[in-house]
Amino acid sequence: MKPGSVAVVGAAETTQMGVIPDMSVIQLHADAALNTLKDCGLTPKDIDGVATAGESPVAISHYLGIKPTWVDGTSVGGCSFMLHVRHAAAAINEGLCSTVLITHGESGRSRIGAGGWGAAAASLAGQFEAPYGTSGPPSSFTIPVLRYMKDYGVTEEQLAMVAVVQREWAGRNPRASFRDPITVEDVLNSRIIAYPFHLLECCLVTDGGGALIMTSADRAKDFPTKPIYIIGTGESVESPMVSQMYDFHHSTAFQISGKKAFAEAGITPKDVDHLMVYDAFAHLPWYGLEGLGFCKPGEGPAFIAEGNTRPGGKLPLNTNGGGLSYMHSGMYGMYALQESVRQLRGTAPAQVPGAKISVAQGVGGMFAAAGTIIMANERP
């Protein structure tokens, strides 16, 4: 895409966050959508493009009373919303629609109106992974990490530090699920979920939603909100089975997606003020830092453990508290995008002073997919 040609003009999350037992999945989408429409002074009748994952764009359009000229139902896991932003930018520039609503809602904790889990027995994952006792992301997403840790000489304390640092950020966010400070000892003493991962190194399971509204940069100046420009985008996919990712030391999808986004934006990691890396588990920020070029291979763990990403550090990372401490509904990518927008609007609870460029890196499935969105609050 042409950097800065499209902007986010509306962004909001669900009214409540965390445990929302009185709302079904589709209503979480709608609650976030209504808050986002209000944020930028629009009504559903002003929307002509709809993108979503989990629910179908048909269901969301009809539920909100939208008659769109463009939809995108790309559903590749938690980074789907990064891909929606990218696809929406292309659609707006191509004239397929002018004002796109992207919605997310998930009843991860309460499971109200939510579907089931599990792979079909005839799928490749059903044949070659499920028989060995995988029981959801905690016992699959985590599988590459012992290989990574042995080859790069990483300690369990360094893995724990990821959770400790993100809790520092969460402590500054009133909407975060967990805000009390934790130590490395607290993390290592928490219940083992799937060795080497302890409870505090796994994401939360909560309810919530979020939505974005995008339009052309030329129209964006007529909105009451500060436009946040999309300056670089990337996406890729890798393997539907974590056991078959190309190399356990890095995410090939992260590398492809990140390279494309940085090239499009015409920037390097040195230009970035604020970073979000989808953290379903504590090793994800390592793969994000290295896959995007912020750190060399194997240097992510020390970079975080040495404090570079904590409040006051040179690269503020996951400033909402992340999936480990803020919230995680199942497809967290939307919340990473929301925090990038807040930081660039200057409205984040843990505001990074003067942040101008933010990168949001998403992962889908268990290293199955990736999406990268680079935003700026000044039009390039």
Partner 1 sequence: MADYRKPLPQPTPETKPFWDGTKSGELRLQRCQSCSHVYFPPRPFCPECASRSVEWFKASGKGTLHSYVINHRPAPGFDAPYAIAIVMLAEGVKMMTNMVGVEQTPEALKLDMPVEVTFEQATEDITLPKWRPVGGAA
Kindly list the catalytic residues.
278, 326
Report the nearest approach of partner 1 to the CB of residue 142 (Å). Answer: 5
First to last CA, the chain: 13
248 binds partner 1 (CB under 8 A): yes
Among 103, 142, 233, 343, binds partner 1 (CB under 8 A): 142
CA of residue 53 relative to chain centroid, distance: 13
**Please, which of residues 147-166 interact with partner 1 by CB under 8 A?**
147, 150
**Token pair for residue 171?**
């402590």
Report the nearest approach of partner 1 to the CB of residue 127 (Å). Answer: 4
| Cα 240 to Cα 54, 77, 129, distances in angstroms | 17, 11, 11
131 binds partner 1 (CB under 8 A): yes
Among 41, 43, 146, 218, binds partner 1 (CB under 8 A): 146
Q: What is the rounded CA–CA span in Å between residue 292 and residue 364?
A: 16
The smaller minimum CB distance to partner 1, of residues 68 and 144, is found at: 144
**Token pair for residue 84?**
């929606």
The smaller minimum CB distance to partner 1, of residues 279 and 339, is found at: 279
Q: What is the rounded CA–CA span in Å between residue 219 and residue 230?
A: 14
Q: What is the rounded CA–CA span in Å between residue 18 and residue 366?
A: 23
Alpha-carbon Rg for the chain in angstroms: 19
268 binds partner 1 (CB under 8 A): no
127 binds partner 1 (CB under 8 A): yes
- The count of other CB atoms within 10 Å of the CB of residue 110 is 19
The smaller minimum CB distance to partner 1, of residues 137 and 171, is found at: 137
The smaller minimum CB distance to partner 1, of residues 22 and 247, is found at: 247
Q: Which region among 98-106, 164-172, 193-201, 284-292 touches partner 1 (by CB under 8 A)? A: 193-201
270 binds partner 1 (CB under 8 A): no
Among 3, 54, 144, 300, binds partner 1 (CB under 8 A): 144
Q: SS3 of 362, please? A: strand
353 binds partner 1 (CB under 8 A): no
**Token pair for residue 7?**
């902007």
Report the nearest approach of partner 1 to the CB of residue 241 (Å). Answer: 8
Q: What is the rounded CA–CA span in Å between residue 142 and residue 245?
A: 12
197 binds partner 1 (CB under 8 A): yes
Whether the CB-CB separation of 12 and 101 falls below 8 Å is answered with: no
- The count of other CB atoms within 10 Å of the CB of residue 314 is 9
Report the nearest approach of partner 1 to the CB of residue 139 (Å). Answer: 4
Pairing of β 357-364 and β 274-277: parallel
The smaller minimum CB distance to partner 1, of residues 128 and 378, is found at: 128
Binding site for partner 1 (CB under 8 A): 120-122, 124, 126-136, 138-140, 142-147, 150, 191-197, 241, 243-244, 248
